[in-house]
Chain A
Amino acid sequence: MSDVVEKTLTALPGLFESQTGAAKITNRLRQLIKSITELTSKHEEENLIKRELSAIKEQVSSPNTTMKQMREIMVRAMYCEMLGYDASFTYIHAIKLAQQGGVLEKRVGYLAVSLFLNEGHELLLLLVNTVLKDLQSTNLIEVCMALTVVAQVFPKDMIPAVLPLVEDKLSHPKEIIRRKAVLALYKFYLIAPNQVQHIHAKFCKALSDKDPGVMASSLHIYLQLIRESPDSYKDLTGSFVTILKQVLGGKLPVDFNYHSVPAPWLQIQLLRILSLLGKEDQSTSELMYEVLDESLRRAEMNHNITYAILYECVKAVYTIHPKAELLEKAARCIGNFVLSPKINLKYLGLKALTYVVQHDAKLALQHQMTIIECLDHSDFTIKRETLELLFRITNAQNVTVIVEKMLDFLRSCNDEHTIIHLIGKVAELAEKFAPDNSWFIQTMNDVFSIGGDLLQQDVPNNFLRLLAEGSESKEEDDQLRLYAVESYLTVLKGHTSHLPQCFLQVMSWVLGEYAHLQESVDRREVIRLLTQLLDQRSVSSETRVWILSALTKIPEGQTDLILDLAESLSSSQDTVLRQQAQELRHLSQDSQLREWVLPRGAPWDGIEVDSSLSFLDGFVSEALAAGAAPYKPPHQRQEELCEDRALNLEPYSFSLPVSLSSCSITDRQSPTLLSVSSGLSGNSAELSQKAGSSTLILEGVKRVWGKDGYLPQKEATAPPVDEPSAAVQPASQQEAAERIEPRPEPSTQNQDKQQLASSLFVGLGVGSSVSLLGKSEAPPPRFRKKPRPHESSSSSGTSKRSSDSSSHSSRNTTDSFLYGSFPEEEPATSISTFDHTPKSTTANGLSQNKDTKEDRHANTSQILGGDMVIVRPSTIQDKHPPSVSSDLTALLPADLKDLPHSDVISLTSDPSLSLSSCRLFRDEALLLVIFISNCTETVIKDVAVQLTCEELKTASLRGNVMDCLEARSTSVCHYALLMDDPHTNVSLTGTVSYQTQPGHTNTLPFSGTLSTADFIRPLVVTTEEYGKLWLSLSHDVKQNLKLLTDAGDPLRTTLNALKDALQLHVVDIIGSEGIVACRLLSGAPCLLHCRVNGAALAMWLRSPHPALPDFILYHCQRALAHH
């Protein structure tokens, strides 16, 4: 095989001359590739490809390009894309090729599509019809191509369109089609599981298909299904066992043999399925013992692929309910793997061991020498796997050696992924099995300096929590803390510029918190060390904040130093630092305040942070009373700015009376720059703890530990760290650990290994026949966490304390948390509705206190300034329409009569003509019907209506020009209006021109207003669809609204009132929650989630359109106020 691809690029020139298939390779591609291979630099390649792409661009757009040429162009485009250049302009042509070409073109087209586009690409929609057509084709090749493309890229939403066709293919006479159809369905199952639920029976048919290939494909599906819910498929165990037996027995056609092994891939799949089925299920497992045994026996060691089967077999044996005889055989197999000279098999052997030691630690003992050899193996993958294995067998006796090994490996490793993965395990082991304090602290020092800022944040969090919470014994805790303080002071006295930020943060927190335990150390020294850090450039501003907050906690009587520091920082560029400096200054001057804000040794659970900032309520109400504008979220302010530019056509702004006494801060209104200091009292304990936990998020973590910068830094940290750890190690272990380096003398080397082995595998059941799992016999973990009252806060205990330091940096997270927490929160305070809408707030207290009746009246007859009409959104099916209009609506065209409509409103009139209008609510548009009535006894000629509105689109109009209007008659014209972008109110203006006498044209202007409410239509969805849609929408707004409490069921009453006013669709009402859906005509949906919250209705709106929720909210408020 190796010489198969021997021909290399060096043979290129010759090949061009002698290419036998030269006719196939078109000149352009050949040229392109030839010139690319001749290039020497990346830059030249870029230029060449750019030229090539522009040439392609020209060719694709030329009308003379034939399909065949297009095919060739597509291959060139694919080549360019593969090299990483953007050829997106060819995408559409790829689709065209698949649509229009013959079979060959289709192939290239489909291939290009599947390489270029992803599932979410919008162009794919253009392909749906082609796929549908090809699925129905009688040409097998076309069907195959369609199935392939469907399995590779297909828009999720379009699955229902092709599903029936693909389903049909399951009973296609050709097995290749059936096979592909099965896989396509599997793909559908993966991306949209609920859409293929109904065809599970057909999967079953595929499993029993007479063609083994189809059956093999169906195993993909079953593997997935069984993984998800093994219990539902237990009854199939028998079938799978039978299939495996048949395969083993050579019942399949010889075609399926690979290196004379019958259908190995099929066997692997089956074994996996069986192990899933037999897991923790004795009776099912018993069914498969026999076949597993046979499988183990049959797989003679002769080829790679048999090892693959064996490996699966071994895993299965150890996964299912154990049977001694099988376990023994499997163990022997593992031995063969581990001892194999073939490196791939060794790797799998280690993997199998890692898997198996959980059940039987003895096996690791048997292979201890091999494991030790693997530790020093040149292969990175093998080493890593060995450490993984060692991690599994760690116990209190061997933890020091194993951790040492892991740290050694990590120091020489520069793969970020591996470091993150392993360092977490080291930290876990250290916490679990640490023999003593000093070792623990040293190891954690290593963890922090090696892992650096790659560390996942829970590692430092857990560590600090452990220090802070302590165990049952105060004395022990203090010793640990003391040791940490000592160790950190040593570290800080050395070079600190290379230390990762996260380590510095941990150190400064510990020093701030516990430096007082160490009496022999001068406080000034601690302050000096910490201040020194502040001067370093490499220290990030977040770390500075940690350091400053540590300094806030330390001083007692060192006011001069602190004041100097505060002074020097008070001119800092960073506002947060400046703020902290101020706090520092105040606190250091007022010891009483300090004692109160930062109580020493206070219990962790007692500190609560009021994340809703309710302690500011008084302040806010005062400010509001003094005339300050209520807080508005940024997007609303933006909206308002836009609104302000337009003319305000409403005579009085609508506004709700803002009652200050009852107002409280809703979650949207958290004042921005207030740091949530620790120690401030509050009432929402749970929230605060969650919020507190977010303060340890290491925002802006930089990868200081680049691949190059890593090692030199490493060496510098090592010395102070190594000394103490060596000192505390038991002598024999230390010796072994030291001697692990290969030595020249082979005999001593061997001895060393023996010694290492004894230290590594100590406690793994030596001399005992019972399987002794290291972990289970280990003494109880050294650092046992105190039982905590609320588990939810477990990770935040320490961070709360330090929240004063980092609250600013995580302010954003806290804020978003506040928003996110809205539905669970139960604020006790009553919430009044702030009118957030632009109109009302500009009024600034000038609320219009009209009572409802008056307003209703205004609906129909408020005519202002002769030609100005206010059209208020009114109840659509008003039960008592004014009598004047009732006869007008009778004039509506027959096809429109059935539509819901508003009252008829008089628009304008003069002695000869009067105009009225009526709104009809059609699903996809608003119909504005204008009635033109001739009030005179003479005929009016050439009547023409003109309507203009910038914000709306006119989809169609009818009847706006009339040659003549008979005396005392009324004509109807109507406009279909569309609203693309929501506006609160839209004003429209128009004119009617007419001639009472020939040659004398009168014009009559009119104007009116339409509200967004007129364009809202119910969106009929099921609760399930609602749920899905909800998650997909991005813009949301929350607000508390008035709840109509006059009826028995306030929620239902309120929702019905809204429904009547706004044409919403009430999807469901469950308990105190209701979900409502609507859309802007047939466009953007808006979902409303309403919850009864005390005396208010907490409304949460979501929509893909940024402004739509605000407008709907506005109209909801109005509707409820009118009620």
Chain B
Amino acid sequence: MIKAILIFNNHGKPRLSKFYEHYTEDTEQQIIRETFHLVSKRDENICNFLEGGLLIGGSENKLIYRHYATLYFVFCVDSSESELGILDLIQVFVETLDKCFENVCELDLIFHMDKVHNILAEMVMGGMVLETNMSEIITQAEAHNKMEKSETFIFQCPRQDR
């Protein structure tokens, strides 16, 4: 199961945080800080897996991360997930964002936080991988985008089917 998904930039500013397990507000912030601390000091050419860190790394959890330009994408998972599988899932996530935002950048994540969350919700639901097929994720996300564009239309007929 995926315990948490964190995105932060090179300076440790959180850009997206989604926890699939309950932590208190303070713990969540501490996890973000600690994870950034752990991940940011790692070189580029070493492996993308990380064990340790008292908060989230307890028992058998591990961190799997990827670093893209200014952003770190970190998934915290338990032992039931495949490391390489998650690594590719991050890739799918980023590629999907790229398609949806047409050349995604950090700013897109900031300004469209809700949209990013919605895309993520199509991929991972309640900590379980729901969909790994990029085109399917995009189809779902597009449906919502269309809805947003024709907002007035929807208000007129809220019963509209996809």
User: Is B142 interfacial (CB 8 A cutoff)?
Assistant: no
Instruction: Name which residue of chain B comes closest to A176, CB basis.
Output: B140
Given B32, B104, B128, B161, which contacts A4 in the complex, CB threshold below 8 Å? Answer: B104
Q: Among B47, B53, B113, point to the contact of A415 (Cβ < 8 A).
A: B53
Given contacts A7-B106, A8-B106, A265-B129, whether A344 and B47 have CB atoms under 8 Å apart is yes
What's the minimum C-beta distance from A938 to chain B, rounded to whole angstroms? 72
Q: Which residue of B25, B46, B135 contacts A255 across the interface (Cβ within 8 Å)?
A: B135
With both chains docked as a complex, state the minimum distance between the C-beta of B154 and any C-beta of chain A, in angstroms. 6
A347 close to B20 (CB less than 8 A):
no
What's the Cα separation between A103 and B143 when bound, in Å? Answer: 12
The answer to whether A111 and B155 touch (CB under 8 A), given A7-B106, A304-B88, is: no
User: Is the pair B107, A75 in contact by a Cβ cutoff of 8 Å?
Assistant: no
Q: Would you call B131 and A183 a contact (CB within 8 A)?
A: no
Q: Which of A25-33, A590-598, A971-979, A1099-1107 forms contacts with chain B?
A: A25-33
**B17 near A82: Cβ-Cβ < 8 Å:** yes
Complex contact B158–A139 (CB within 8 A): yes
B-binding segment of A115-123, A464-472, A486-494, A1034-1042: A115-123
Which of chain B's residues 107-144 have a Cβ closer than 8 Å to chain A?
A: 107, 110-114, 117-118, 121, 125-133, 135-136, 140, 143-144
Determine how close the nearest CB of chain B comes to the CB of A982; give it in whole angstroms: 33
A151 contacts the other chain (CB 8 A): yes
Contact check, A5 vs B69: say whether CB atoms are below 8 A apart. Answer: yes
Q: Does A1 contact B (CB under 8 A)?
A: yes
Q: Smallest CB–CB gap between A381 and chain B, Å? A: 6
Interface centre among B69, B136, B161 (most CB of A within 10 A): B69
Chain B neighbourhood of A12, CB < 8 A: 107
Q: How far is the CB of B8 from chain A (nearest CB, A)?
A: 10
Using A103-B158, A305-B85, A305-B88 as known contacts, say yes or no to A141 and B143 having CB atoms under 8 A apart: yes
Q: Are B151 and A384 in contact (CB under 8 A)?
A: no
Q: Is the pair B48, A344 in contact by a Cβ cutoff of 8 Å?
A: yes
Q: Is there an interface contact between A148 and B125, defined as CB atoms closer than 8 Å?
A: yes
Most buried by A among B42, B110, B125: B125
Closest to A263 in B: B132
Bound form: Cα–Cα A272–B84 in Å: 14
The residue from A102, A312, A380, A417 contacting B54, defined by CB atoms under 8 A apart: A417
Q: CB within 8 A of B148: which of A15, A104, A346, A348?
A: A104
A311 touches B84 (CB 8 A): yes
**A140 contact set on B, CB distance < 8 A:** 161-162
A9, A84, A379, A382: the one within 8 Å of B70 (CB): A9
Residues of A with C-beta under 8 A to B9 = 9
- Does A378 touch B at the CB level, under 8 Å? yes
Please determine whether B84 and A152 come into contact, CB atoms closer than 8 angstroms: no
Confirm or deny: A256 has a beta carbon within 8 angstroms of a beta carbon on chain B. yes
* A405 contacts chain B at the CB level, 8 A cutoff: no
Contact A30 B111 (CB under 8 A): yes
What residue of chain A has the Cβ atom nearest to residue B121's Cβ?
Answer: A148
Dominant SS at the B interface?
A: mixed
B14 near A83 with CB under 8 A, answer yes
B7 to chain A, nearest CB (A): 10
Task: Give the chain B neighbours of A514 by CB distance below 8 A.
Answer: none
**Bound form: Cα–Cα A182–B116 in Å:** 23
Q: Are A82 and B46 in contact (CB under 8 A)?
A: no
Hey, which chain B residues are within 8 Å of A8, CB to CB? 69-70, 105-106
**Chain A neighbourhood of B45, CB < 8 A:** 343
B57 close to A183 (CB less than 8 A):
no
Given contacts A7-B106, A139-B158, A268-B82, contact A119 B22 (CB under 8 A): yes
Q: Which residue of B lies closest to A112 (CB)?
A: B114
Name the distance in Å between A269's Cβ and chain B's nearest Cβ. Answer: 9
Q: Is A86 at the interface (CB under 8 A from chain B)?
A: yes
- Distance in Å from the Cβ of B73 to the closest Cβ of chain A? 10
List of A residues within 8 angstroms of B50 by Cβ: 381
Given contacts A103-B158, A176-B140, A378-B43, contact A78 B95 (CB under 8 A): no
Select one of B80, B113, B117, B126 contacting A223, CB under 8 A. B80
The answer to whether A382 and B47 touch across the interface, beta carbons within 8 angstroms, is: yes
Give the residues in chain A near B14, CB-CB below 8 Å: 82-84
A463 close to chain B: CB less than 8 A: no
Asked, given contacts A75-B114, A140-B162, whether A151 binds B52 with beta carbons under 8 Å apart, the answer is no
Q: Which of A336-375 contact B (CB under 8 A)?
A: 343-344, 346-348
Contact of A415 with B52 in the complex, beta carbons under 8 Å: yes
Task: Check B126 against A187 for contact (C-beta < 8 Å).
Answer: yes
> CA separation between A589 and B129, bound complex, in Å?
73
CA distance A2 to B18 in the complex (A): 24
Q: Mark B6-28, 1 if CB is under 8 A from A, else 0.
A: 00010000101110101001001
Contacting residues, chain B, for A120 (C-beta < 8 A): 22
Q: Map CB proximity to B onto A298-324 as digits: 1 under 8 Å, 0 otherwise.
A: 000000110110011000000000000
A residues near B113, Cβ cutoff 8 Å: 75, 78-79, 82
Q: Find the residue from B87, B126, B132, B162 having the highest chain A CB count within 10 A.
A: B126
Tell me which of B28, B47, B98, B117 contacts A346 (CB under 8 A). Answer: B47
Contacts A1-B95, A84-B32, A148-B125 known; list 5 others, CB within 8 Å. A1-B94, A4-B104, A186-B128, A255-B136, A258-B133
Report A's interface with B, CB cutoff 8 A: 1-9, 11-12, 15, 24-25, 29-30, 33, 75, 78-79, 81-84, 86, 102-104, 107-108, 111, 115, 118-120, 138-141, 147-148, 151-152, 176, 179-180, 183-184, 186-187, 213, 217, 220, 223, 255-256, 258, 264-265, 268, 272, 304-305, 307-308, 311-312, 343-344, 346-348, 378-382, 384, 415-418
Nearest 10 A-B pairs (CB), nearest first? A151-B126, A308-B84, A7-B105, A379-B46, A118-B22, A84-B29, A5-B69, A343-B47, A347-B47, A415-B52
- Provide 25 A-B residue pairs closer than 8 Å at the C-beta atoms, listed in order of the A residue: A1-B68, A1-B98, A2-B68, A6-B105, A8-B105, A8-B106, A15-B107, A29-B111, A82-B14, A82-B17, A86-B25, A107-B144, A119-B22, A151-B125, A152-B20, A180-B130, A187-B126, A213-B131, A213-B133, A220-B128, A308-B84, A381-B47, A384-B51, A384-B52, A418-B51
